[in-house]
Amino acid sequence: MKVLALFALLLVGVHGGSVCENAAVEATGFTTLDATIVSKVAYVSEFTLTCSNSAKDISLYAETSSGIASVARSLDGIKYQVSWLSDGASASSGEQDIKLFDEQGYSALKKAQRSGESTASVQPIARISMYHPGTYRGPWVQSETIAVLASLAIFYYAFKQKSLITE
Amino acid sequence: MGKSTKFTKEEELLLEDFSRNISKKTSLMFYLNAFFVSAVPIWLYIRIHMMELISSSPLFVVVTGASTYLLAFAYKNSKFVLKHKVAQKVEESVTKAVLKQLGDKKKAGKSEKDERVLWKKNEVADSEATTFALFYNNAMFLMLVVVGSCLMFRSFSPFYNYFFSIMVAAGVTALLSTSGSK
């Protein structure tokens, strides 16, 4: 029994349990920049999480603009990645705020959602700000429309000149 | 007793003025220009409609050849119609310029002056009519090609799109060039 308790304490000491204290995040973001042939915009955020109590391999959840998503983590427990999709027509450019929650925070979040309370009261362990410059959906006016209009304009000028000569 | 068939210089100039014949140099210029303008849309179809140059080369050769002939025909007709109109417009200014030039030569007779005016008017009208015929017919042909390929025949396959766009554009340009002046 004492051996088991000692083993459990050792595990907690090594992994720091599932609680990350004073979390610090370093993040890199990727977003869809060209939506000419796709209908969804993808957001991907890769980050490393550093805890003051050296906690690693923590189960994390992210609250994004499209809802709550689970965060994938690397085998060594150091790198994390969260990704989600947004509709191309409604995706806006600018800063995307991502709130990170651990198990406890996620439970509190779900509880608040079920009871209809505001989720703003649940404090995340960390926040990531990801900048999305916007997605290119094609030119405002198609190039063939410009070509047709330009050729018509040039022909109109030629026609007017001919009318002046032949009148 | 046979009548002399030799024309005077004035009569020759008048014949040249009212003739549809064009010089070899002008003819060569017309055909070269028509060939170049007919070949330009090939680039459009290769880059935009993704046609293969080598596999479509027989089509390109045949259609470009036909279009070249039709455009040269259009240039010739347009030039003939425009030449007379341009000659009427420039007659006054050419006469003034030539008489001013000949003004110092008091020995020049009336017939020499008339001949010089007629020759200069013919030269100016010929040059202006040639240039404008090229510009007007090229503008019409390229406009019809762009409208045909982007609007009228856009649902066709590139092969038929190219064939109909070029042939319709060249055909319409040649047809409209045959209409007389109003």
Q: What is the per-residue burial (b if ≥16 Cβ within 10 Å, else e) of A24-61?
A: ebebebebbeebeeeeebebebbbebebeeebeebebb
Choice between A5 and A136, residue whose per-residue pLDDT is larger: A136
Side-chain-side CA neighbours of B22 within 13 Å: the count stands at: 21
Residue A92: pLDDT band by 50, 70, 90 thresholds?
confident
pLDDT of residue A1: 66
Q: Please tell me the distance in Å from B125's CA to the nearest CA on chain A.
A: 11
Q: Select the residue of A148, A158, A159 nearest B150 (Cβ to Cβ).
A: A148
- Asked whether the CA dihedral B61, B65, B68, B70 is positive or negative, the reply is negative
Positive/negative CA dihedral, A121, A124, A126, A128 = negative
Of B85, B132, B140, the CB nearest to A155: B140
What's the pLDDT tens digit per position in B118-161? 888 888 989 999 999 999 999 999 999 999 999 999 999 999 99
Cβ contact, residue pair B147, A158, below 8 Å = no
Which of A52-56, A123-127, B176-180 has the largest mean confidence? A123-127
Mean pLDDT of B105-116: 74
Looking at per-residue pLDDT, the higher value among B22 and B118 belongs to B118
B14 vs A: CB within 8 A: no
- Portion 134-163 of A in contact with B at CB < 8 A: 144-145, 147-148, 151-152, 154-155, 157-159, 161-162
Among A25, A77, A38, A34, smallest CA distance to A55 is for: A77
ipTM associated with this complex = 0.83
**In Å, how far from its chain's centre is CA B57?**
27
Q: When comparing pLDDT for A150 and A6, which is higher?
A: A150
Tell if the CB–CB gap between B132 and A165 is shorter than 8 Å.
Answer: yes
How far apart are the C-alpha atoms of A104 and B134, rounded to whole Å? Answer: 81
Residues of B within 8 A of A165 (CB-CB) are 82, 85-86, 89, 132
Q: What is the pLDDT of residue A9?
A: 54
pLDDT at residue B79 above 60?
Answer: yes
Instruction: Return the SS3 of B1.
Output: coil
pTM: 0.67
- Which chain B residue is nearest to residue A147, measuring alpha carbons? B146
